[in-house]
Amino acid sequence: MKGIIHQLDKAFESRIRLGLMSVLIVNDWVEFNELKHLLDVTDGNLASHIAALEKRGFIEIRKRFVGKKPNTSFKITAEGKVAFSNHLDALERLLKGQG
């Protein structure tokens, strides 16, 4: 069981990052305001978690204008999918007492 703990990725320890990745893994692009609403967080709180995940290469950011309004959306990267899936697999093994 001790080995499984080391397979958990610290990037996903926060409930916000866990929720963020959970939303992104099942959607193509998700807008900032939708994430903020789904996760029930402030702009600044969400932005800091997004920055941490982007720094690790787990999410991609797309900034564009829709009409005259700025629009920021997020997508999980291939690397992010692998890392998050590995994290979830390790959690599942930990819960089942495998290790």
CATH number for the domain spanning 58: value is 1.10.10.10
Distance CA 39, CA 31 (A): 12
Q: How many domains does the chain have?
A: 1
Reading the block at residue 53, the tokens are 């995940």
pLDDT confidence of 2, banded at 50, 70, 90? low
Distance CA 8, CA 47 (A): 23
Range of the domain at 58: 2-96
**For the segment 74-97, what is each residue's pLDDT rounded down to a tens digit?**
999 999 999 999 999 999 998 888
Distance CA 54, CA 44 (A): 15
pLDDT confidence of 5, banded at 50, 70, 90? confident
**For the segment 11-53, what is each residue's pLDDT rounded down to a tens digit?**
999 999 999 999 999 999 999 999 999 999 999 999 999 999 9
Which residue is it, tokens 């997020």? 74
